[in-house]
Homo-oligomer: A and B are copies of this chain.
């Protein structure tokens, strides 16, 4: 699985993993340790680490298929960008009420980026 995709899935759904799954995932993808190194730290075989990671990835994918946070996040980003672009057009207006409204729209759009 693509590293960025995995990182996004972990951001949204990591809270649903067990401590062991989270630790293992973190050592593999954030600390970039090998399966053997993780196995030594956890006191299990290289194969057990691999199985753990495979199960975690499958669970993260299943959550995305059923809940869809990452997909929704991408649609939101696109819509927010479109709203911000449109607000920029309004900044060129000489009408102070229009300028103030552009600010208001931008503020609300930024709330969606959090």
Task: Tell me if A83 and B109 are in contact (CB < 8 A).
Answer: yes
Cβ of A49 under 8 Å from chain B: no
Binds B, one of A25-33, A34-42, A85-93: A85-93
Chain B residues contacting A12 (CB-CB under 8 Å) are 67
| CB-CB under 8 A for A98 and B90, given A13-B67, A15-B66 | yes
Choose among B76, B87, B114 the residue that contacts A112 (Cβ–Cβ < 8 A).
Answer: B76
**Nearest B residue to A114, CB-CB:** B75
Chain B contacts for A78, CB-based, 8 A? 111
Provide the residues of chain B in CB contact with A90, threshold 8 Å.
Answer: 90, 98, 101
**Pick from B16, B66, B79: contact of A109, CB under 8 Å:** B79
Q: In the complex, which of the residues B13, B87, B97 contacts A89, with contact meaning CB atoms closer than 8 Å?
A: B97
Q: What is the distance, in angstroms, from A109's C-beta to the closest C-beta of chain B?
A: 7
Docked complex: A100-114 residues within 8 A CB-CB of B = 101, 104-105, 108-109, 111-112, 114
